Amino acid sequence: MRRPAVVLLALLLLGLVYLAAWPVPVSPVAWTAPANPGLVGAFAADSALSGLTALSLGGHQGPESVARDRAGRIYVSTRDGTILRFAPDAGVGDPAQAWANTGGRPLGLVFDTAGTLFVTDGERGLLAVDTSGAVRLLADSADGTRIEFADDLDVAANGKVYFSDASTKFGVRAQSDEDASLLDVIEHGGHGRLIEWDPATGKATVLLAGIDFANGVAMTPDQQAVLLCETGHYRILRVGVAGADRGRSTPVIEALPGFPDNISRAGDDRYWVALFAPRNALLDRLSGSPNLRKVLLRIPRALRPKAEEYGHIIVIDASGKVLDDRQDPTGSYPKMTDVLETERYLYIGSLQGGVLARVPR
């Protein structure tokens, strides 16, 4: 055998060994992905999100979450820790004010009735920001386990805060929020938790564990449960927070056509859900093949399957019925993460980019 052929064979063997045995940070678990309904029926393709207006973030990036205070001002979390504030119904050219900085990666924002802004910070845990912009740490662990990826939250009428710890294994301090979420979804190891923080005791308690990437959280109108997005399972759960159903989960909608991110109350028993990206057919096919999912992480990043850039938000009721569906097939504002409904507009958050999207309600 000629020398070039020997070298080529050796390189090929080394490549196969690398793809089969090189250490990766995940230990995938076999599961069966539900059938993808696709963009049909309640999810039929449309262009209702075309014509989005972009509000500049003034150089900041990644408007993950959006909230509004009692004065109608709009608040946005950004990748560098800054929380921006827009004037009510700010125009396209109106600048945002750098109002506070969490010193970490704020991912979820929600106000209580007293005007306190509660924040889930992926690096720090659960925070509170008072009306002057001063930041206070409320919880960085729950039941003795550190909060690694505080993601989204909601506040009950009694002042208790319910929030998700997306993954106790893959945290934002070790890698970016996008990389951490990818690792957790590929592993599918049930590392997510729903946590309750009680202002009376100042303690954080795990309400439900074993969730495959715990994400968006929203209270139900009766205050007896929260709706929780389980991103890795393409579904939304109802989790009881009181009475006999406390800590029990029941799916309200399953087999979504995309990865559900945040869920936000819109009043009248309606909830906006942002679908971060459409489902990936290859990832679904490999759900029952843990070793092949490891191979995905051994492939150079530039060659790995990427999330499709497609804008998609839906409205459901507390029973999971889809009431509205709006899409942007062009992907002009990709990786949608959150929706805030006001009297005039929908403000839409995203994991990336230097603008906040807005569309007439």
Query: Which amino acid is it at 167?
Result: S
Q: Which residues of 246-273 are buried (b: 16+ CB within 10 A; e: fewer)?
A: eeebeebbeebbbbbbbbbbbeeebbbb
Per-residue tokens: 311: 């804008």
DSSP letter, residue 80: T
Model pLDDT, residue 217: 98
Model pLDDT, residue 302: 83
Mean pLDDT of 315-334: 95
Model pLDDT, residue 18: 44
pLDDT tens across 233-243, in order? 999 999 999 99
Domains in the chain with CATH codes: 34-360 (2.120.10.30)
Strand partners, 6: none
Give the chain's radius of gyration (CA, Å).
21
Question: What is the 3-state composition of the chain as percent helix, strand, coil, each rounded to the nearest 5?
Answer: 15, 40, 45
Mean pLDDT of 64-75: 97
> What is the C-alpha separation between 226 and 297, in angstroms, rounded?
34
CA 80 to chain centre: 17
Mean pLDDT of 301-315: 89
Question: Do 141 and 149 contact (CB within 8 A), yes or no?
Answer: no
pLDDT tens across 193-244, in order? 999 999 999 999 999 999 999 999 999 999 999 999 999 999 999 999 999 9
Strand, helix or coil for residue 3: helix
Tokens 């009181």 locate to 242
**Closest by alpha carbon to 160, among 218, 133, 200, 120?**
200
pLDDT tens across 105-134, in order? 999 999 999 999 999 999 999 999 999 999
Model pLDDT, residue 21: 58
CA atoms within 13 A on the CB side of 1: 8
> What is the C-alpha separation between 161 and 168, in angstroms, rounded?
19
Tokens 């064979």 locate to 9
Asked if pLDDT for residue 22 goes beyond 80, the answer is: no
Per-residue CA distances from 178 to 58, 316, 339 (Å): 22, 26, 19
> What is the C-alpha separation between 57 and 99, in angstroms, rounded?
12
Q: What is the reported pTM? A: 0.94
Model pLDDT, residue 187: 97
Confidence of residue 10 (pLDDT cuts 50, 70, 90): low
Residue 119 buriedness (CB in 10 A; 0-12 / 13-18 / 19+):
buried
Asked if pLDDT for residue 267 goes beyond 90, the answer is: no
pLDDT tens across 269-304, in order? 999 999 999 999 999 999 999 999 999 999 888 877
Strand ranges for 140-257 from DSSP E? 141-142, 145-146, 150-155, 161-165, 192-198, 203-211, 214-219, 225-230, 235-240, 249-253
> What is the C-alpha separation between 36 and 38, in angstroms, rounded?
5
pLDDT tens across 47-58, in order? 999 889 999 999
Model pLDDT, residue 93: 86
> What is the C-alpha separation between 110 and 89, in angstroms, rounded?
19
pLDDT tens across 170-199, in order? 999 877 778 999 999 999 999 999 999 999
